[in-house]
Structure 1
Amino acid sequence: MTSHFERFRAGDTSAFDALVAEYTGPAFAAAVQVLRDPALAEEAVQEAFVRIWRRGLQYDPTRGNERSWILAIARNAAIDLLRKRARLHERSIDNAPSVYAMQDPDDTWQAVLASLTGERIRNALGALPAEQQDVIVRAYYQGQRPADIARETGLPEGTIRSRLRLALTRLRQTLSPMREALEP
Structure 2
Amino acid sequence: MLPEDQDIDLLRRAGAGDRRAQGTLVERHMPAVRRLTHAILGSGNGQDATQETFMRALASLESFDPARGQVRAWFLGIARNVAFEALRAQRRVELGSTGELELFELAQGAGWGAEPTELASPEREAMRTETQQQLLHALASLGPEDREVLVLRDFEGLDGEQAAALLGVDLLAMKSRLHRARLRLMATMRSLEEGIVARDREVSGMRCSDVIAVLSDYLDGDLGATDRARVESHVQACTVCARFGGHFAGTIEHLRARLGAPPAVDPEQVAALKQRLAIFDR
* TM-score normalized with structure 2 length: 0.31
Report the TM-score when normalising by structure 1. Answer: 0.46
Give the structure with the larger helix fraction. Answer: 1
Bigger CA radius of gyration: 1
Query: Comparing both chains, which one has the higher relative contact order based on Cα–Cα distances under 8 Å and sequence gaps of 6 or more?
Result: 2
